[in-house]
């Protein structure tokens, strides 16, 4: 009998609890998730976003000007070479100009430059207009975007051009499917570098 009363009381408490919850109570306001609306609004956020561009350029051997970039540029010239009796096959392939589109080096340099371009576009597009240092940070981002495209156009010729933040995969695939002529890429490079020069 005592057990039955506890069961009824427990059931009544569950029903009261369920019906007392309002929709406001169930809606969460996430505070740990950064979005474009919540980030880029303070000077510290904007500097942090710009520092991410610098971090992208400095990131190790597979980074922007690390060993892999050197293999794609210097190893293929008379400036340096790989001893064919030692070393790894990837480097030897570049030294012999025996490279395919499947090369991990090509993918690493391509991806790294476009990752950096994505970070520059985020700074250019999202840093709050109200910040005093906005012009400087945007100029820094434009310099690095120009430099990234300068490397890409010299290595690959016609390349996809991205000048805004990519919002979804459909947009990314649409942009990636269309390579802009080198002339247009050089025009963007010149425009970005001239804009950076005016401020920096």
Q: 49-92: per-residue pLDDT in tens?
A: 999 998 888 766 666 777 777 777 777 777 776 666 666 666 77
Mean pLDDT estimate for the chain: 81
- Please check the confidence at residue 42 and state whether its pLDDT lies above 70: yes
- Of 66-75, 111-120, 184-193, the one with minimum mean pLDDT is 66-75
Task: Characterize 64-103 residue by residue with b for buried, 16 or more Cβ atoms within 10 angstroms of its Cβ, and e for exposed.
Answer: bebebbbbbbebeeeeeebeeeeeeebbbbbbeeebeeeb
Q: Name 159's bridge partners.
A: 180
User: What angle in degrees, to the nearest 10, is found between the helix axes of 43-57 and 134-156?
Assistant: 20
Q: What is the pLDDT of residue 84?
A: 64
- Within 10 A of 29 (CB to CB), how many other CB atoms are there? 5
- Please check the confidence at residue 112 and state whether its pLDDT lies above 80: yes
- Within 10 A of 177 (CB to CB), how many other CB atoms are there? 8
pTM: 0.77
- Which stretches within 58-103 are classed as H helix? 67-73, 89-95
Grouping H, G, I as helix, E, B as strand and the rest as coil, residue 195 is helix
- Please check the confidence at residue 121 and state whether its pLDDT lies above 90: yes
- Please check the confidence at residue 161 and state whether its pLDDT lies above 60: yes
87 in the Ramachandran plot: left (φ > 0), alpha (ψ -120 to 50) or beta? Answer: left
């Amino acid at each position: 009998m005592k057990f039955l009363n506890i069961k009824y009381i427990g059931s009544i408490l569950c029903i009261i609890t369920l019906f007392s919850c309002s929709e406001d109570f169930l809606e969460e306001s996430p505070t740990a998730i950064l979005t474009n609306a919540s980030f880029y609004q303070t000077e510290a956020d904007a500097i942090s976003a710009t520092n991410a561009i610098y971090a992208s350029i400095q990131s190790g051997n597979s980074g922007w000007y690390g060993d892999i970039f050197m293999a794609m540029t210097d190893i293929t010239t008379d400036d340096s070479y790989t001893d064919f009796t030692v070393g790894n096959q990837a480097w030897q392939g570049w030294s012999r100009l025996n490279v395919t589109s499947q090369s991990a080096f090509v993918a690493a340099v391509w991806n790294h430059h476009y990752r950096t371009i994505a970070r520059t576009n985020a700074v250019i597009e999202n840093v709050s207009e109200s910040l005093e240092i906005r012009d400087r940070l945007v100029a820094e981002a434009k310099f690095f975007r120009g430099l990234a495209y300068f490397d890409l156009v010299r290595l690959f010729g016609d390349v996809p051009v991205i000048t805004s933040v990519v919002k979804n995969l459909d947009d990314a695939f649409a942009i990636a499917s269309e390579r802009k002529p080198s002339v247009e890429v050089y025009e963007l490079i010149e425009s970005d570098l001239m804009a950076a020069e005016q401020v920096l």
